[in-house]
Structure 1
């Protein structure tokens, strides 16, 4: 029995060490698929050099992101699906606003999802928008207090809320007061 348990432990250890790992700015190693949440304080400077998304917190309180970055260059998901950046007011990541995208070169397909945001969300109260310096790139604005924002997914089948831009574009998601 002990040797079976030891063998199982060894097999699981081997699998765990084979998982892809990433390093954060503090040189702390963690697996790429682990849930790591980062606090994003108000008005952080997150310049990115080329294509990608930049999230700017204009709220009067911190928000949390599931993942290490709040500015990232476009990337593909190894499983073939899209990328979802989840934004919440709590570390538990409940009542989330999602910025979702799929890179299909030369196009970036993106959307905002309010499906898991819950009623009376502070994101709705303060508003949010996605914009780009490229005038041909679609933008989306959910004005403060707009509980039925037509520019975002409110239901899983709101397929008209998907937008497209060139993959060379930088999109900026503003959260909060710049819209007031």
Structure 2
């Protein structure tokens, strides 16, 4: 009887340690298998605490965005001058994260900021593949920058319909960039470039 109970306890312990994350009431996520970070607070639509992406709407009209992993977040509306921020996170299905940005709440004609966290590296790109012709994003321009001089940046100047810093076709792999996962990347949309 004792050995059966001990075996059951060992099996349950093994299952419990294999669980990937535990959330508490403070929305803090504990990753059981992280090498470096034991606690990571998920920040959305606020200032970033440590690492991640900040998207700033410098245009005179609202934009709408969704952060998509294996599921989509709720829609966020950014009025002129507002920003959205999120700390780097992983996709439970092993893929990357896509922040889809549109001028309409219909999630169409989107500019995408895509990233994959592979500690200690953040792989990222801009995708114009689904923007459509004559996009206002192209008209106004956009740029990704960082305070870290070793981190790659990307600029698509206003009116640049063939921006080499972004994906225009699915196989434009030269448009994938790498930075340290401790970095904060800032995506400016619009007039800051004019």
Question: 1:34/1:139 Cα in 2 relative to 1: closer, same or farther (>3 Å)?
Answer: closer
TM superposition shift of 1:167: 0.1
31-40 or 91-100: bigger deviation: 31-40
Question: 1:40/1:15 Cα in 2 relative to 1: closer, same or farther (>3 Å)?
Answer: closer
TM superposition shift of 1:70: 2.6
Matched-pair contact (CA < 8 Å) for 1:40–1:57: no
Structure-to-structure mapping, 1:50-61, within 5 angstroms = 50-61=50-61
Matched-pair contact (CA < 8 Å) for 2:29–2:42: no
Match of 1:153 in 2: 167
Match of 1:24 in 2: 24
TM superposition outliers: structure 1 runs of 4+ over 4 Å: 1-45
TM superposition shift of 1:34: 27
* Alignment deviations for residues 90-120 of structure 1 (CA, whole Å, 9 cap, x no partner): 0001100000000000000000000000000
Question: 1:37/1:3 Cα in 2 relative to 1: closer, same or farther (>3 Å)?
Answer: same
TM superposition shift of 1:46: 3.8
* Alignment deviations for residues 42-95 of structure 1 (CA, whole Å, 9 cap, x no partner): 999842110000000001000001x99931000000000000000000000110
- Normalising by structure 1, report the TM-score: 0.74
3-12 or 78-87: bigger deviation: 3-12
* Alignment deviations for residues 2-33 of structure 1 (CA, whole Å, 9 cap, x no partner): 99999999999999999999999999999999
Matched-pair contact (CA < 8 Å) for 1:129–1:142: yes
Matched-pair contact (CA < 8 Å) for 1:53–1:72: yes
Gaps in structure 1 of 5+ consecutive residues: none
TM superposition shift of 1:177: 0.1
56-65 or 67-76: bigger deviation: 67-76
- Normalising by structure 2, report the TM-score: 0.69
State the Cα RMSD in Å.
8.4
Gaps in structure 2 of 5+ consecutive residues: 66-80
Q: CA–CA distance in 2 between the matches of 1:103 and 1:38?
A: 16
Aligned residues: 179
Question: 1:171/1:17 Cα in 2 relative to 1: closer, same or farther (>3 Å)?
Answer: same
Matched-pair contact (CA < 8 Å) for 1:54–1:171: yes
Rg (Cα) greater in structure: 2
